[in-house]
Amino acid sequence: MTDDDHTESETAPTTAPLARDDVTPDSPFTLPGFFAALDEGDLLAAVCEECGKRLVPPRPACYACGGRQLHVEVQPRTGTVVSYTEVRTPPPALADRAPYTVAIVELDSGARLTGRVTVPYAETSIGLPVRLTARDPDEDEREMALSYEVDWPIHEFDPV
């Protein structure tokens, strides 16, 4: 399945829940709902109808203006690195992976998402074009995950 196979209409409900009882685990405005959509191939953002800010992962209130009128949109998987760092002292379960690079990526839509970059720090730069990929977690990643996170996909950025 390609990114083009998904549309916003497949990610119902598409508007933010306004009442506590409206928040369900499968809502794209929750982390379980966000990661379930990512596992299906959709990178989702909440878009604030008041200020236009894109929030990845989606949440039911805008952190830029406080607005509560948000809807979900599928985001592009491509973008550029706007900031990055090298992790030399990771959590114990990931010690064998250090050092690794983590970046803030501005997607082509303007939304920003933090994630690992699949190349070493020395090969990463501000402005580096990247593409988001998602994969199943490895055993060491599952060991450090909370019980409800064990099957969430791991997102990473590959240079393009």
Three-class SS state of 37: helix
pLDDT (mean) for 110-118: 97
Q: What is the pLDDT of residue 5?
A: 42
Same domain, 10 and 67: yes
The tokens for 121 are 């720090």
Average pLDDT on 59-63 reads 91
* Closest CA relative to residue 155, chosen from 133, 122, 126: 133
List the domain range (segments joined by +) for residue 50.
3-74
pLDDT confidence bin for 10, thresholds 50/70/90: very low
Q: Are 46 and 54 in contact (CB under 8 A)?
A: yes
Query: Of 25, 47, 74, at which residue does a domain stop?
Result: 74
Q: Scan for tokens 């977690």, then name that residue.
A: 137
**28's torsion region: left (phi>0), alpha (psi -120 to 50) or beta?**
alpha
Residues 117 and 56 reside in one and the same domain: no
70 and 83 in a single domain? The answer is no
Which residue among 74, 103, 128 closes a domain? 74
Same domain, 65 and 95: no
Taking the model in full, what pTM does it have? 0.85
**pLDDT over 60 (residue 7):** no
Query: Does 9 lie in the same domain as 64?
Result: yes
Q: 3-state DSSP call for residue 150? A: coil
Q: What is the pLDDT of residue 4?
A: 43
10 or 141: which leads in pLDDT:
141
